[in-house]
Structure 1
Amino acid sequence: HSILVLREDIQVTFIIYYCVVNPRFRRTPIDFHHAIECHQPEVIILGTYGKYGCYCGFGGSGTPVDATDRCCQLHDLCYEEADEMEKSLKEKLFSLIGTIMNTYNSSCIDGQVVCMENSPFKDKVCNCDKDAARCLYRAKPSYNSTYYGLDTTKY
């Protein structure tokens, strides 16, 4: 039980860092975390995808090492498309600095993420997360733990 608490503490620290401190991470990872959890409730998300390959987690460059990493690359590209959309002033601030409190509306129904009643921008972000979570689930057979914490300068 204490290991689980430690992992939750690490995840909270990760969320705060990537929402507030790190300017590259422009979305709240809480929603993406929930989307992945909807498809893979058993997975420890940060310990599985937090620093996987060239694109999972913060940053992203080089050639994806496998199908799992390609899902993360596509997720990054989808967020870039969302950034190009017309947004309200609040959404522009959300896109620029990220925030834990500004999330989209979604539900997990029968193991599927359903995006609900969002602005076009938030709906795009929700669909980015939904598609990436589904992609990661389908790519599970490609997952190779040796790619976790990979030295991306080699790829």
Structure 2
Amino acid sequence: MDYETVSPTDFGASLRGLGLNLLVRDVLGEAAFLTEVFGMSAHRLSADFAIMVYHGQVMQLHADHTYGSHPLLGLVPESPPRGAGASIHLFQSDPDQAAARAGVAGGMILQPPVNKPHGLRECCILCADGYAWIASRPLTLEERKAL
């Protein structure tokens, strides 16, 4: 599917399985953050909407105003953090590289890269909208032995 030319109707009809759609104040800013920190690709990028692709997985960003008549918009807090309680795991992102890029891209490192007992090296980065993005990769054999 060509994400740059697919019609909204065809794109919507193609979606399957679990979907992730984030309401954000600034679609262009959030897309730039996700591209810079996690290497996502942005498609159909506008002030209203973006299709984001991460290792073949599709998610969507929508600007608040595109949900004008949707009841969910009334539940979104006026002041950050908006995404409190949700963590979005990106299992194929090197946490050390993501953490190094986060500050320049406007993110805040909530938890620096650390080896976890569940077999992953992770860091937690908050974007400007307060969503917790967890960059992680599997531990190496040496890192597992050191735990």
More strand by share: 2
Give the number of the structure with larger relative contact order, counting CA–CA contacts within 8 Å between residues 6 or more apart.
Answer: 1
Q: TM-score, normalised by structure 1?
A: 0.26
Q: Which has the larger radius of gyration?
A: 2
Return the TM-score normalized by structure 2: 0.27
Q: Give the structure with the higher percent helix.
A: 1
